[in-house]
Amino acid sequence: MKHLLKMMDLSTEEILEILNLADQLKYEQEHGIPHKALSGKTLGMIFQKASTRTRVSFETGMYQLGGNALFLSASELQIGRGEPVQDTARVLSRYINGIMIRTFEQSEVENLAEYGSIPIINGLTDLSHPCQVLADLMTVREYKNNLEGLNMCYIGDGNNMANSLTVGCLKVGMNVSLACPEGYHPASTVLEFAKQYPDNFKLVSDPMEAAADADVLFTDVWASMGQEGEAEQRKAAFKGYQINDEIMKVAKPDAMVQHCLPAHREEEITTKVFEQHANQIFDEAENRLHAQKAVMVMLMSDKD
């Protein structure tokens, strides 16, 4: 593994290796055992969109690993004035040891990886959110002890989260049921990938059908960053695509609920269900830190 650009690029073995290391790093953190694998290293963090969890967990994670993190707001970099990402990649590769980028186009992340000579980590694009899904898989495994054979249900927009969850969950042997309205399906590349799993994947329009017998339910905002202008139209399109008491009734009695956050209460999830599952959701947020530390150690530490 040279970069983390999207879930599709990771093998099942790599995903499990990241999750195992993340568990170890979490244990060490909780027991005060220092792990300074990135001492003297610097991570550049380029943000073209807002962030709470990604920014703080990467910065803190880097600090805990003995390294340093630079917050680079795209609007204050020359990238914001039109300097090509290809040049930014080659310049930053001379100064720092890795780049985490949150942006719109997946091609920008792929270009950084192609032109730079340091590891690139996707901190969210319109297409994918691999760091989040690694933390999600880690959290589900913590609660359910294993992943293989679990029924995962996602209700809502076929966005970056739906894309990465579909690929990640299928790769680790979970059954994936998505409920997305017409016109808001996941990316065609993801649907193409899912064709390899005809017995383990379904995309339907009825949230009740997708939630039947679920072990874990996911949802995400109806309008992602960059889609604020479509918010009203989306509110109409996604009416009923909500995790609520009725949905929870058809899931397994011990089903868990996950949300990458930020959440819009009474839109994609009711306040009641959110608060009933708040521990699981905030464990998921915490696990961003541990999963990303694992990714950074695997990508950025000296191998010998």
Taking the least distance from each CB to ligand CP, the nearer of 186 and 201 is 186
Contact 3, 121 (CB under 8 A): yes
Which is closer to ligand NVA, CB of 1 or CB of 263? 263
Q: In the chain, which ranges are E strands?
A: 42-47, 68-73, 98-102, 120-122, 151-155, 175-179, 201-204, 216-219, 256-259
Which residues in 253-282 contact ligand CP (CB under 6 A)?
A: 260-261
Kindly state the number of chain residues that form the binding site for ligand NVA, as judged by CB under 6 A.
9
Q: Which tokens in the block code for residue 104? A: 């719109």
Please tell me whether the peptide bond between 84 and the residue prior to it is cis, using omega within 30 degrees of 0: no
Candidates 224, 258, 270, 287; binder of ligand NVA (CB under 6 A) is 224
Least CB distance from residue 92 to ligand NVA, whole Å? Answer: 24
Part of the chain binding ligand CP (CB under 6 A), chosen from 25-33, 45-53, 196-204, 227-235: 45-53
Q: How far is the CB of 281 from ligand CP (least distance, A)?
A: 11
Give the integer Cα–Cα distance in Å for 6 and 13. 15
* Interaction pattern, residues 152-191, with ligand CP; x per rule: CB under 6 A: ----------------------------------------
The tokens for 237 are 């399109």
Q: Report in angstroms how near the CB of residue 57 gets to ligand CP at its nearest.
A: 8
User: Quick check: is 233 catalytic?
Assistant: no
Do 59 and 71 contact (CB within 8 A), yes or no?
yes
**Rounded alpha-carbon distances, angstroms, from residue 34 to 27, 29, 72, 285, 302:** 11, 7, 27, 22, 17
Segment 158-177, which members bind ligand NVA (CB under 6 A)?
A: 159-161
From first CA to last CA, the distance across the chain in angstroms is: 16
Neighbouring C-alpha atoms within 13 Å toward the C-beta of 123: 31
Range 202-221, binding ligand NVA (CB under 6 A) = 220-221
Binder among 20, 52, 75, 279 for ligand CP (CB under 6 A) = 52
Whether 81 sits among the annotated catalytic residues: the reply is: no
- H/E run at residue 121: strand 120-122
**Residue numbers at the binding site for ligand NVA (CB under 6 A):** 124, 159-161, 220-221, 224-225, 260
Residues that bind ligand CP (CB under 6 A): 51-54, 124, 132, 260-261
